[in-house]
Structures are given as C-alpha cells and as structure tokens.
Amino acid sequence: MTTRAEIAAKLDDFAYQKANFGGFLMNKRAKNSHALWTGNRDKGVTELSLLATRDYGDNNIYDVAAFTLDGTVPSEALAELSSQAEALADRINLREHGYVYTCLEPWDGGGTIWISKKPEFRALSRPEQGIYVIPIQRLSGDEPRWLAWVREREQLDIAIVYKP
C-alpha cells in the first residue's frame, strides 16, 4: 500500500507529476505544479475522507470529500460533515459543482477558476479547525483517495493524486 510519505517523495520527480498532472497545454500544468511543489517547504500529502457520492451514470461520478493537512479529520466532524454534504447534494446538483483538481491550484478557485463561483460545498469547510471540504469530479471510476497540498503565502493549493 502506498503511503503519504512515498507519494510526497515521488512528487519531487517531474515525470511523476507529469503522469498525474500532465495533459494538454504541453504539460504546462505539470510544470507549474512541479515548480510550486519543489519551490515550497510547507507541503504534503493527505488522505481524503469521502462525505457524499453521486453517480450520474456513464462514469459521471462526483464526490464531496473532507481533508486536513495532517491527514486526520476528527470522527465527530466527519459525522456532521457527511450529514451536511448528503443533504446539500440532495438539494443542489453536485455535477454542477464538481471539480477535477488535476494540478496544484487554489483549493477555493482563488477567484480565477470557475469553481470559485460555486462555493456551496466548500462552505462546509472549517478552516479555523483545519478542515477543508471540496466537491470532486472523478477522472476515472477510481475513488479519489490522496490529495497533494502546498501552502504558499496563506494560499492553499491542492491537487488530487489519481495515480499514486
């Protein structure tokens, strides 16, 4: 089984980041993520806790997940957040809010990415307690489990590591 430390060490390698964060734009996303990762000391890998999942068919699966930077979301918070995420997913279309987080970028969209205009699921977060909630669109049928993060000048950037 892959560990957080093993994934964090692999993220130092551009080829690994290219496999996870590459793609179109001539690997610009991987290059930017690699530069952000290697240029910062406040970084790590954490495990996601799924709060709600919706399967819209044809491999269109969306999740709401919580995470902390140290990897442990308290069980009482998980219970509350799961209930809130399920209720919210029942009221609004999770498909319209899911985001892929395929490269290190602001967890809240930073005001520049369209996800920043859809804060409903992220509003479940408790940043003062170090608990963050994100809506995820899966890239494959695989359940998202790992998240890489970098904090630079009060900005938290995240990416889902789909290929640990």
Using one digit for the tens of pLDDT, what is the confidence trace for 70-89? Answer: 988 999 999 999 999 999 99
* CA–CA dist 31, 154 (Å, integer): 22
* Cβ contact 38:150 at 8 Å: no
Q: Dmax of the chain from CA atoms?
A: 44
* Cβ contact 131:124 at 8 Å: no
Characterise 76 by phi-psi region: left (phi > 0), alpha (psi -120 to 50), beta (else). alpha
pTM score, whole prediction:
0.92
Q: Provide the mean pLDDT of the chain.
A: 91
Single-letter amino acid code for the residue at 139? L
Percentage of the chain with pLDDT > 90? 70
pLDDT given at position 72: 87
pLDDT given at position 112: 84
pLDDT given at position 1: 61
Flag whether pLDDT at 111 surpasses 90. no
Bridge partners for 136 per DSSP: 63, 99
pLDDT given at position 86: 98
* CA–CA dist 156, 127 (Å, integer): 11
pLDDT given at position 19: 85
Strand order from edge to edge, sheet including 132-137:
49-55, 61-67, 132-137
More confident call, 52 vs 59: 52
Contacts of 145 (CB under 8 A, 6+ apart): 47, 48, 164
The residue count for the chain: 164
Flag whether pLDDT at 124 surpasses 70. yes
* CA–CA dist 5, 146 (Å, integer): 11
Q: Which residue in 151, 163, 63, 56 sits closest to 108, CA to CA? A: 151
Flag whether pLDDT at 26 surpasses 60. no
- For 63, the enclosing helix (H) or strand (E) is strand 61-67
Bridge partners for 64 per DSSP: 52, 135
